[in-house]
Amino acid sequence: MRVGITCHTGSGGSGVLATELGVRLAERGHEVHFITRETPFRLRGYVENVFLHQVEAVYYPLFQEPPHTLSLAAKMAKVALSYSLDVLHVHYAIPHAVSAYLAKQMLQPHPIGVVTTLHGTDITLVGNQPDFQGITRFCIDASDRVTAVSGFLRDETLRTFQVQRGVRVIHNFVDCERFHPTSNPELRRRFVADDEFLLMHASNFRPVKNIRTLIEVFSRIERQVRARLVLIGEGPDLTFAQTRIAELGLSDRVVFLGNQECIEELLPLADLFLLPSHHESFGLVALEAMACGTVVLASSVGGTSEVVDSGRNGFLCAPTEVERWVGTAVGILQDPARRAQMQLAARETASERFCRERLIEEYEEEYAAAVRQAAAAHVDSTPGRS
Ligand code: GMT
């Protein structure tokens, strides 16, 4: 199939998932066209069957800012025509599903399937804002097929927007060959001494990631056990994190690594991965840590319980329960036998339940269904048919 993929290109989970999906589809023989603002963060090196189409910004003195949604729609339509795309697969509803809708209209009478994958804040923070509810509902309803990355997010979508259509849950996946347990004592020693624990967090440092609690929890853990914290990623709350850590006198216990492409080399080093988000529709980075055999302590909000079975392959706590976070973290750090059991269970969950190939086949089924649906709608609207 010929598939156009659009996603946000930063280090966020929706772009990561879309990129990993595109690369694997290309390896499976599909022709994949990324239609994006920049090269997606996780796209490394040349991949056969993958094409990149950058959406150029249009500047004009009348515009306060370039109208990206329109440029994207125009580019989608152009690429779709030039390469005879079968499907546009957009990740994150706003604004990508709107652009796909426009492109589909522009392409008439050529039919093209539109698949929209909902990731999280496109529904829970952006789409449910009063001004955006109508357009989010519209573009979900206008897509040929809609998927959500967790059952929680599907239910939330149906509840918030009362959309008239089905939403299929296709959980996020992880490449268990790339993300796997490894022991690299030399690299680990660059962050911690042999008698210290290594705690880790990775995110795009947006307010939803609850960085304040992360730092509070770490500062209390650090009073009870010798530990250091490695922070991966960048975003709006990074400066706050740096300031708060300095205020608490923890600067020499925390390492800021910024955005890292090869997170699979870092995640297996950690004794504990912390994800105290206010909200998380799935928690892809938690799954990646689990695939590396790292114990995860995450917020019990949203869809994380579809990944973490608390007490068996990791832990879930409410983001407000700081004392429970600290007690749980210290408890598992001080119990190496239980930690080893959990590391095995985490890896097993990742490889058995979130296997890449099976979930990619589910996306392929959605593409085929979208193409059929678009073709049927096209036949129905052909002049002379009633
Ligand atoms: O933060 C977002 O909502 C954007 C998105 C991203 O690009 O990082 O994250 C969401 O999508 C990920 C991939 O499907 C999920 O693993 C994250 O849980 C989800 N984030 C939230 O729900 C906060």
Q: CA end-to-end span of the chain, whole Å?
A: 31
Task: Please state whether beta strands 227-232 and 197-202 pair in parallel, antiparallel, or not at all (unpaired).
Answer: parallel
Probe target for ligand 1 pocket from 14, 20, 211, 308, with the most ligand atoms within 8 Å of CB:
14
Question: Ligand 1 centroid vs 241 CA: distance in angstroms?
Answer: 20
For a mutational test of ligand 1's pocket, the pick from 284, 306, 307, 363, i.e. the residue with the most ligand atoms closer than 8 A to its C-beta, is 284
Share above pLDDT 90 across residues of the chain, in percent, rounded to a whole number: 91
109-148 pLDDT, tens digit per residue, is: 999 999 999 999 898 888 788 999 999 999 999 999 999 9
List C-alpha distances in Å: 159 to 117, 153, 266, 356.
Answer: 17, 10, 38, 29
The vertex-28 CA angle with 38 and 47, nearest 5°, equals: 40
Answer whether residue 178 is part of any domain.
no
Measured from the CB, is residue 284 less than 6 Å from ligand 1?
A: yes
> Is the shortest distance between the CB of 127 and ligand 1 below 6 Å?
no
Q: Are residues 166 and 192 in the same domain?
A: no
CA proximity to 205, closest of 256, 131, 267? 256
User: Domain range holding 228?
Assistant: 185-353
Examine residue 179 and state whether it is found in any structural domain, yes or no.
Answer: no
Find the 282 Cα to ligand 1 centroid distance in Å.
Answer: 7
Q: What is the pTM of this model?
A: 0.94
Residue 197 has pLDDT above 90, yes or no: yes
How many structural domains compose the chain? 2
210 lines ligand 1 (CB under 6 A): no
Residue ranges of E strands in 203-240: 227-232
Nearest to 354 by CA among 155, 149, 183, 200: 149
How many whole angstroms separate alpha carbon 296 and alpha carbon 314? 5
pLDDT in tens, 334-362: 999 999 999 999 999 999 999 899 999 99
Q: Does 370 reside within a domain? A: yes
Q: Are 223 and 102 within one domain?
A: no
Mutation pick for ligand 1 pocket among 281, 316, 354 (CB with most ligand atoms within 8 Å)? 281
* Ligand 1 midpoint to CA 332 (Å): 27
pLDDT tens-digit series, residues 277-317: 999 999 999 999 999 999 999 999 999 999 999 999 999 99
Residue 344 and residue 364 in one domain: no
Q: Is residue 259 part of a domain?
A: yes
Q: Is the CB of 119 under 6 A from ligand 1?
A: yes
Residue 82's CB is within 10 A of a number of other CB atoms, namely 10
Angstrom distance (rounded) from CA 201 to CA 266: 11
Whether residue 20 is predicted with pLDDT greater than 70 in this model: the reply is: yes
Residue 384 reports pLDDT greater than 70: no
CA of 207 to the centre of ligand 1 (A): 13
On whether both 23 and 133 belong to a single domain, the answer is: yes
Distance 190 CA to ligand 1 centre (A): 30
**Residues 134, 274 within the same domain:** no
Residues 241 and 334 in one domain: yes
Reported in sequence order, the residue ranges of the chain that DSSP labels E, i.e. its strands, are: 2-6, 31-36, 50-54, 87-91, 113-118, 145-148, 168-169, 197-202, 227-232, 254-258, 272-275, 296-299, 315-317
Verify that 196 and 139 share a domain, yes or no.
no
The 10 Å CB-count burial string (b at 16+, else e) for 117-142 is bbbbbbbbeebbeeebeebbbebbeb
Check pocket membership of 50 for ligand 1, CB cut-off 6 A. no
Which of ligand 1's atoms lies nearest the C-alpha of 7? 7
Q: Is 386 part of any domain? A: no
| Residue 12 Cα: closest atom of ligand 1 | 8
